[in-house]
Amino acid sequence: MPYHAPLTDFDLILRHVVPLAPVQATDRFAEATEDMRQAILTEAGRMCEERLAPLQRQGDLHPAHLDNGVVRTSPGFADGFRAIAEGGWIGMSADPEYGGMGLPMMLATAVNDMLSGSCLAIQLAPLMGQGQIEALENHASDEIKARFLPKLISGEWAGTMNLTEPQAGSDVGALRTKAEPLGDGSYAITGQKIYISWADNDFTENVCHLVLARLPDARPGTKGISLFIVPRHIPDADGNPGERNDLRVVSLEHKMGLHGSPTAVMEYSGAKGWLVGEPHDGMRAMFTMMNNARLGVGVQGIGVAEAATQAALSYAMERKQGRSPIQNGTGTIIDHADVRRMLATMRADTFAARAIAFACAQAIDLAHATGDAGWEARAALLTPIAKAFGTETGIRVAELGVQVHGGMGYIEETGAAQYSRDVRVTAIYEGTNGIQAMDLVGRKMMDGGEAMAALLDEVESHAEGLRGSLPALAEPVWQASETLRETVESLAEQGDLNARFAGAVPFLMGFARVLGGHYHLKAAESEGADSARGRLARFYIERLLPEHASLLAQASAGAEALYALSPEDLGA
């Protein structure tokens, strides 16, 4: 399907809304100049438009399948992955010592956005590799780094993560996979894992699995979990793939969407692996990978939202139906108020979600570059918001895209339904959005709401400064931020954690609504209230931002009404 890289959006955000400049000003990222930024995003955008977008329908119509124990990938996917690998896009943010570019996460986020919009099924493969690379960089021994990182960064080898087991689901602490010492520094890994994205392929020399397992002396729960790297082929003395390891793909799942991305049940039968990090400290190491992946998954939603919006807009500007209700209209359905409303919602929410993701990436970059605790707290705070709001935006926007197409949206040939089917899983994997919201009102409020207050100080200060020049836009953002601040303070004082959890999802979405207003206001400030961006900001602030009030009211309602309903009541 046609896809156009949103370079204009990236340029606006990285210059004025969530600027790259503070990151470029650090010693760590001083080489990420403005010229480099433009060259990288232009080249990545060209690859996505020309090499990956044509694979979108191929993966859906010709799914990956299992052939005598070997995963056969969709037509063209091998060439697509090679294009990603040869461009260096897998290791954009990786350590240059092992072949990475060492570029900011902000640029990697933009590239992942485009990869997701052009073909989400194939983008999952490098995303898994990126998460594994970061986990190894931060936790693995020098020996493991030297053996695995260069191959993962180059794309010669692929990476996965193996957390979930049939009996455990999101309760990772209930896993049963065992790790037995072999006496030579390696371990025999035995167990079964499910929902493993890109667990195998037919285009890389090797596939390396990060596997959570228990050592013989492990205690129950998450504090008894260790992390191991388990390759499909055991590297020989020269670092090349050697003998086949004792692991296999049992089956591939039959999924609602993402047919081009193989999702496997994996069986480990005494497979050889190596410990990553310290014994019984696997969750800390795995969370390094998962946090990277959570931002990446949020960006997946945004990329699909972009592609769905482009497809819906193209259709609306061509489809003629009924009489135009406005003078000098186009004569197509985009003249109709409700179609215009849907398209404006799609574009405005995509921009808001994209800006939030870039703000999260900026905080990650500045935390890495400066070691400042404030930036670390900001990154931790924004990660669940970026993941949940990005994916919810992808789902809502793709659904609206089907509606804009009308009856043709329900016909598979248009491709509109595929966006909706593909993106739906993003709200589930890498921690469901409910878990993200519980993290936001739980762990992220353990500081009494201090990190949230610091962010809201910036939002209010910016809106306060624009009350004179952009009063119609700045005042509602300031007021919404005040309502959010009051809710944060109330929840921080709420001692009953389950009462917080009862309103966690509305709280997260209300928080995102306010942040979206803040970033739209910054865009309007940059380009003027009468510009296209200013008009889009007006739409968001007038029509979407007011949702924050009802969302935050739900967040403060507590759990009593939920538990007043018995299971029998719910079945009535």
Q: By the 8 A CB rule, do 470 and 423 touch?
A: no
Residue 247 one-letter amino acid: L
CA–CA separation, 476 and 513 (whole Å): 12
Torsion of CA 21, 26, 28, 30, to 10 degrees: 60
* pLDDT for the residue numbered 302: 98
Answer for the pair 52, 80: CB distance below 8 angstroms, yes or no. yes
Backbone angles phi and psi of 131, in degrees to 5: -65, -40
Q: State the DSSP string of 92-119.
A: TTS-GGGT-----HHHHHHHHHHHHHH-
Helix or strand or coil: residue 74? coil
Q: What pLDDT does 1 receive? A: 67
| Options 137, 165, 430, 525, the catalytic residue | 430
Q: Which residues contact 78 (CB under 8 A, 6 or more apart)?
A: 201, 202, 203
Q: Are 402 and 410 in contact (CB under 8 A)?
A: yes
Q: Which two tokens stand for residue 166?
A: 């049939």
Active site residue 527: no
CA pair distance 233, 241, nearest whole angstrom: 5
pLDDT per residue, tens digit, the chain (572 aa), is 689 999 999 999 999 999 999 999 999 999 999 999 999 999 999 999 999 999 999 999 999 999 988 999 999 999 999 999 999 999 999 999 999 999 999 999 999 999 999 999 999 999 999 999 999 999 999 999 999 999 999 999 999 999 889 877 667 777 899 999 999 999 999 999 999 999 999 999 999 999 999 999 998 888 899 999 999 999 998 999 999 999 999 999 999 999 999 999 999 999 999 999 999 999 888 777 777 789 999 999 999 999 999 999 999 999 998 888 998 889 999 999 999 999 999 999 999 999 999 999 999 999 999 999 999 999 999 999 999 999 999 999 999 999 999 999 999 999 999 999 999 999 999 889 999 999 999 999 999 999 999 999 999 999 999 999 999 999 999 999 999 999 999 999 998 999 999 999 999 999 999 999 999 999 999 999 999 999 999 999 999 999 999 999 999 999 999 999 999 999 86
What is the rounded distance in angstroms from the CA atom of residue 79 to the CA atom of residue 85? 10
- Taken in order of first residue, the domains within the chain and their CATH numbers are 433-567 (1.20.120)
- The partner residues of 210 in beta bridges, in order of sequence, read 161, 229
DSSP string, 306-361: HHHHHHHHHHHTT---S--SSTT--SSGGGSHHHHHHHHHHHHHHHHHHHHHHHHH
Q: Give this prediction's pTM.
A: 0.96
Structure tokens at 440: 């936001």
HEC letters along 358-376: HHHHHHHHHHHHHCCHHHH
- Looking at residue 524, its pLDDT comes to 98
* CA–CA distance, 424 with 240 (Å, rounded to integer): 38
Nearest to 485 by CA among 443, 514, 519, 465: 514
Dig out the tokens for 313 from the structure.
């807009």
pLDDT at 170: 66
Q: Determine the pLDDT at residue 197.
A: 96
Helix axes 120-139, 142-154, angle to 10 degrees: 160
Measure the CA–CA gap between 389 and 268, rounded to whole angstroms. 35
Rounded CA gap, 272 and 264, in Å? Answer: 20
Helix, strand, or coil (residue 156): coil
Q: Which residues pair with 429 in a beta bridge?
A: none
